[in-house]
Chains A and B, each alone.
Chain A
Amino acid sequence: MHSFHSMLNYFPEEVLEHIFDFLTSHRDRNAVSLVCKSWYAVERFSREKVFVGNCYAISPERLIARFPRVRSLTLKGKPHFADFNLVPNDWGGYVQPWIESIVRGRVNLEELRLKRMLVSDESLELLATFFPNFKSLVLVSCEGFTTDGLAAIASNCRFLRELDLQENEVEDRRGQWLSCFPDSCTSLVSLNFTCLKGEVNLASLERLVARCRNLRSLRVNNAVPLDALQRILAQAPQLVDLGTGSFVHDPDTESYNKLETSMQKCTSITSLSGFLDVSARCLPAVYPICGQLTSLNLSYAPGIYSDELVKLICYCNRLERLLVLDTIGDKGLGVVASSCKELQELRVFLSDVYGIGNTAVTEEGLVAISAGCPKLNSILYFCQQMTNEALIMVAKNCPNFIRFRLCTLNPTVPDAITMQPLDEGFGAIVKSCKDLKRLSISGLLTDQVFLYIGRYAKQLEMLSIAFAGDSDKGMLSVLNGCKKLKKLEIRDCPFGNVALLADMGKYETMRSLWMSSCEVTFGACKTLAQKMPRLNVEIINENDQIEASVDDKQKVEKMYLYRTLVGPRKDAPGFVWTL
């Protein structure tokens, strides 16, 4: 070891840097920077892509100080449960201070990827103004900006390669943001504006597509009609990834025929999505390219039913990733199982988004998929009911799960046949899937399932629990057993102070812990905050009663704690109390 070490010290830094260039994963880079001081130094000057899983864990200034050459920054803001309305909108996660610091720090930022953050038009304008080399903007589940901000990006970022907007809430100002791309802009490789609600100038779009010969990925929004899509495809047969706009048209028209022809020429499309507005009669236009698809997203098309879905999917023999609604039904999933042998990822969403009615998807569909698709490693499955037997079968069929997320419509539904809790089923999953990194469980569950998780889920990094467990033992099993746990989110479970305080140091090894509607009290949270200065323990309390007469014995409604190097954040709104 000693000689190895000194050998490496003879390498000039450039060589080390060159070696580190091969390390793309930020985890690997984090690891090498811990080896010794010189490696730390070399690594930090050479790191160009920085990933920050929690924007409040570090400050932009410190980040820039450590990584002065950062070109690409990924930031995540709100906790995951914010997706489900459990976190108030203005909880935080503002990107503005980051951009301001980056501007001040004279960083040459080229890529920015944000998830669950609040982005303002001002932030986008700053970006557009101060970063002439800016190349890539990816916004996922963000909000706070309008199409005016997009116009700024379009106008000023002359070398823009990627503008990818996924599931953001964007206010549409009915301007002509798309028309703001100057004629000189030919660099676009990826453009995704599916989530925008308003219209874009179709002529501008068509011209843009025509001049960006490197365009590989185009996802338009609903306001782009089918005939415009046809003209676009005619200009861009090189597309690899297509998101359709409105896919409704009378099939007996010339427009539609032209679309069929243009579609056939798109022999490179391997990823297809969109269909927010679709008529089943138009789907046949897509059949010719089904055989080349590796990714298909029909999860926004509630009007397409099992028969039509199946007609499409049975051609998709190379499919690796499929997102559908539960309208596909168990039978449809059976067809998927027999047609899509390469399937790796499946997501079955609820078509009835308020979860009021029923879903046509049960444990049978899941078992069929597991039996037919040996490469399956990632699943998100909303279903009416589940059984232990089914889960055990799935575990046997598919030991390769990395992500396993199951959501029963009724969160405490027992095994549909035996009426027992679903402990054994999930136990089988964690026992069999040794590489499981992400798990969401639901249904009737006791402490037993957590015993299994703690015992077997050794690679688990993220766990989501709702309405499960009997006592603190459950949570303790997880905290003790899951050594690699990074994110734990719990709602409506009977876990309390004993579990929370048993191993306070554990939370510094994790990114965050969310507990809402559990048994944890103010007193315990205060204790935790006191003992662990490098954690922010935030209480979210929407009742206006934060400081007044808080009894230590009072239960906390929502607690979010996370490790941080920079202490309590200064932008917390009134209803967030950092203890």
Chain B
Amino acid sequence: MSSSASVDCITQSGSGLKERNYLGLSDCSSVDSSAVSNVSEENKNNLNLKATELRLGLPGSRSPERDSDFTLLSSGKLDEKQLFPLLPSKDGICSLMQKSVISGNKRGFSDTVDGFSEIKSSVFTEGKWMFNATGSDSGTPQSVVEAKLAGSAGINMILSNNSSGAQPSMKKEVPTRALQEGHNKINGSNNNNSAPAAKAQVVGWPPIRSFRKNTLATTLKTNDEVDGKTVPGALFVKVSMDGAPYLRKVDLRTYSTYQELSSALEKMFMCFTIRQCGSQEAPGREMLGENKFKDLVHGSDYVLTFEDKDGDWMLVGDVPWEMFIESCKRLKIMKGSDAIGLAPRATEKPKNQN
């Protein structure tokens, strides 16, 4: 349900009231990027933003990343003190960072006005500024992109507004009574219990004190390091395999035994192993069974190893699973011949197999 709801919010383009997922996003990245490029088109034409590079931060603070992959919404990673400038597009014109819904409507977060609905972006700083992209299509009032910016308490916005282009005006969005009528349409998709992909952030909502936000965010990070057991967050580690052209990532928390892990790895790297282990495979056998993979891993050709917190490469399987995931930093499927130091008798099954 959540995915359909988020699709809803992307696909419609302004006719009357739509059901909107509350700030559903991030599934919609492809649409967003096109939407954003629309914005930059408009912005290019109407605002000479080249010189208006908004830098948000304390004097002397370093410029925050402008990685377009950087979303606000990866919880736990978000440090409230990070600042989200406008992303400069290639010719230096700032466009709004994609991936979240504009806030600020009176009733509900979703942008209800048409031309506006494509523009899903919000940038977070403490202040609020608006672009008035005049001359936009059909004169919809929603050419005003109102971006509410949330940030940490300590930030003053340094606005170097020396552009010669259109000054941001203070025009407000037209409040959307349309949305009021549609109360009943804002239905359960807003409060589905399965996690909406990502919700956009509105300044000050949910109303949690900055101090609490900062403290909890830090605690979560620390807990991850200190006692992996008690925190449910994903534990992604890279998995590399000799000879494979690219690496994979697995979330160790999704497994509870070595067998589950090795099955999963087998499936992931099957495409590489078939090729390489052709001689070992019985003809007609299409899938590498778990045993086969075990053979691969613990057989003559491949060994599963991991790098622990101290940087040492260890054989997978010696310690209890819980201990393993606490110390595993990355995985590597090594060729048996390379793993001689690690796995003295690679053909034998390991002693502790959970």
User: Is the pair B209, A352 in contact by a Cβ cutoff of 8 Å?
Assistant: no
Q: Which residues in B have their C-beta under 8 angstroms from that of A169? A: 153-154, 210-211
Complex CA gap A81/B126 in Å reads: 13
Instruction: Decide: A353 near B213, CB < 8 A? Known: A84-B205, A89-B153, A421-B183.
Output: yes
Complex CA gap A225/B199 in Å reads: 37
Q: B40 interface residue, CB < 8 Å from A?
A: no
Closest residue of B by beta carbon distance from A444: B183
User: Scoring A residues 272 to 316 as 1 if CB is less than 8 Å from chain B, else 0, what string do you get?
Assistant: 000011011000000000000000000111111100000000000
Instruction: Decide: A84 near B190, CB < 8 A? Known: A494-B106, A543-B129, A557-B128.
Output: no
A554 CB to closest chain B CB, in angstroms?
Answer: 6
Complex CA gap A498/B66 in Å reads: 44
Instruction: Decide: A84 near B183, CB < 8 A? Known: A356-B198, A385-B191, A410-B22.
Output: no
Q: B336 interface residue, CB < 8 Å from A?
A: no
- Interface window among A11-19, A34-42, A179-187, A411-419: A411-419
Q: A110 interface residue, CB < 8 Å from B?
A: no
Q: Which residues in A have their C-beta under 8 angstroms from that of B209? A: 83-84, 141, 167
| Highest count of chain A CB atoms <10 Å: which of B72, B105, B183 | B183
Q: Which residues in B have their C-beta under 8 angstroms from that of A351? A: 216
In chain B between 199 and 220, which residues have their CB closer than 8 angstroms to a CB of chain A?
Answer: 199, 201-213, 215-217, 219-220
User: Is the pair A349, B212 in contact by a Cβ cutoff of 8 Å?
Assistant: yes
| Highest count of chain B CB atoms <10 Å: which of A85, A276, A305, A419 | A85
Instruction: Decide: A86 near B204, CB < 8 A? Known: A169-B211, A542-B127.
Output: yes
Q: B186 interface residue, CB < 8 Å from A?
A: yes
Instruction: Decide: A358 near B183, CB < 8 A? Known: A83-B210, A300-B216.
Output: no
Instruction: Decide: A543 near B208, CB < 8 A? Known: A302-B220, A355-B199.
Output: no
Q: Which residues in A have their C-beta under 8 angstroms from that of B78? A: 354
Q: Which residues in B have their C-beta under 8 angstroms from that of A554? A: 170-172
User: Is the pair A81, B183 in contact by a Cβ cutoff of 8 Å?
Assistant: no
Q: A124 interface residue, CB < 8 Å from B?
A: no
Closest residue of B by beta carbon distance from A416: B191
Complex CA gap A86/B207 in Å reads: 10
Q: A195 interface residue, CB < 8 Å from B?
A: yes
User: Is the pair A493, B207 in contact by a Cβ cutoff of 8 Å?
Assistant: no
In chain B between 164 and 209, which residues have their CB closer than 8 angstroms to a CB of chain A?
Answer: 168, 170-172, 175, 180, 183-184, 186-188, 190-191, 193-195, 198-199, 201-209
User: Is the pair A492, B106 in contact by a Cβ cutoff of 8 Å?
Assistant: yes
User: Is the pair A277, B105 in contact by a Cβ cutoff of 8 Å?
Assistant: no
In chain A between 131 and 160, which residues have their CB closer than 8 angstroms to a CB of chain B?
Answer: 141, 143
User: Is the pair B159, A544 in contact by a Cβ cutoff of 8 Å?
Assistant: yes
Q: B156 interface residue, CB < 8 Å from A?
A: yes
Q: A248 interface residue, CB < 8 Å from B?
A: yes
Q: Which residues in A have their C-beta under 8 angstroms from that of B291? A: none
Q: A384 interface residue, CB < 8 Å from B?
A: yes
Interchain Cβ contacts within 8 Å, total number: 195
Q: A467 interface residue, CB < 8 Å from B?
A: yes
User: Is the pair B193, A167 in contact by a Cβ cutoff of 8 Å?
Assistant: no
Closest residue of B by beta carbon distance from A354: B75
Complex partner residue of B107 from A304, A384, A413, A494, CB under 8 angstroms: A494
Q: A29 interface residue, CB < 8 Å from B?
A: no
Closest residue of B by beta carbon distance from A548: B167
User: Is the pair A85, B151 in contact by a Cβ cutoff of 8 Å?
Assistant: yes
B141 CB to closest chain A CB, in angstroms?
Answer: 13
User: Is the pair A303, B150 in contact by a Cβ cutoff of 8 Å?
Assistant: no
Q: A321 interface residue, CB < 8 Å from B?
A: no
Q: Which residues in B have their C-beta under 8 angstroms from that of A299? A: 212
Complex partner residue of A303 from B129, B154, B191, B227, CB under 8 angstroms: B227
Q: Which residues in B have their C-beta under 8 angstroms from that of A89? A: 126, 153-156
Instruction: Decide: A303 near B219, CB < 8 A? Known: A467-B106, A494-B175.
Output: yes
B208 CB to closest chain A CB, in angstroms?
Answer: 5
In chain A between 536 and 579, which residues have their CB closer than 8 angstroms to a CB of chain B?
Answer: 542-545, 554-555, 557
User: Is the pair A357, B210 in contact by a Cβ cutoff of 8 Å?
Assistant: no
Q: Which residues in B have their C-beta under 8 angstroms from that of A494? A: 106-107, 175, 180
User: Is the pair B216, A358 in contact by a Cβ cutoff of 8 Å?
Assistant: no
A323 CB to closest chain B CB, in angstroms?
Answer: 11
B209 CB to closest chain A CB, in angstroms?
Answer: 5
Q: B265 interface residue, CB < 8 Å from A?
A: no
Complex CA gap A168/B215 in Å reads: 11
User: Is the pair A416, B227 in contact by a Cβ cutoff of 8 Å?
Assistant: no
Q: B109 interface residue, CB < 8 Å from A?
A: yes
Complex partner residue of A492 from B104, B186, B232, CB under 8 angstroms: B104
Q: A407 interface residue, CB < 8 Å from B?
A: yes
User: Is the pair B222, A279 in contact by a Cβ cutoff of 8 Å?
Assistant: no
In chain A between 386 and 433, which residues have their CB closer than 8 angstroms to a CB of chain B?
Answer: 407-414, 416, 419-421
Complex CA gap A554/B130 in Å reads: 14
Q: Which residues in A have their C-beta under 8 angstroms from that of B104? A: 492, 517
In chain A between 484 and 536, which residues have their CB closer than 8 angstroms to a CB of chain B?
Answer: 491-494, 517-519
Complex CA gap A399/B151 in Å reads: 39
Instruction: Decide: A467 near B107, CB < 8 A? Known: A81-B204, A409-B206, A419-B188.
Output: yes
User: Is the pair A277, B226 in contact by a Cβ cutoff of 8 Å?
Assistant: yes
5 contacts between A and B (CB under 8 A): A248-B226, A302-B223, A354-B213, A355-B205, A543-B168
* Interface residues of A, Cβ cutoff 8 Å to B: 81, 83-86, 88-90, 141, 143, 167-169, 195, 248, 276-277, 279-280, 299-305, 349-358, 382, 384-385, 407-414, 416, 419-421, 444, 446, 466-467, 470, 491-494, 517-519, 542-545, 554-555, 557
Q: Top 3 closest A-B pairs, CB basis? A: A84-B204, A542-B127, A303-B230
List 5 extra interface pairs beyond A167-B211, A413-B22, A543-B170, CB under 8 A.
A301-B219, A302-B231, A411-B109, A411-B202, A413-B191
